[in-house]
Amino acid sequence: MKKDIHPKYNNKSEVTCACGATFLVGSTMDKINVEICSQCHPFYTGNEKVLDTAGRVDRFKKRVAAKTKK
């Protein structure tokens, strides 16, 4: 294996999210900036929004409600 070709690995690289949250991870970069993290992602926070421009979700909910009534 060749020596001195691999980047330096940092055990404590700081990740900064756009929401202001910071945490440490292992990476080859010293600082990492992200737009979304587990503290502000809608899936993890429970504030999930469904974008339905064509009405597909409403039609699906109507079909499910009709089948549960039978």
pLDDT in tens, 15-48: 999 999 999 999 999 999 999 888 888 777 877 7
CATH no. for 10-69: 4.10.80.400
Q: What is the rounded average pLDDT of the residues 6-23?
A: 93
**Is the pLDDT at 55 greater than 90, yes or no?**
no
Computed from CA positions of residues 62, 64, 69, 70, in that sequence, does the dihedral angle turn out positive or negative? positive
Domain residue spans of the chain: 10-69
* pLDDT in the model for residue 38: 85
Average pLDDT, the chain: 86
Global pTM reads 0.56
**Is the pLDDT at 4 greater than 70, yes or no?**
yes
CA distance linking residue 17 with residue 24, whole number of Å: 12
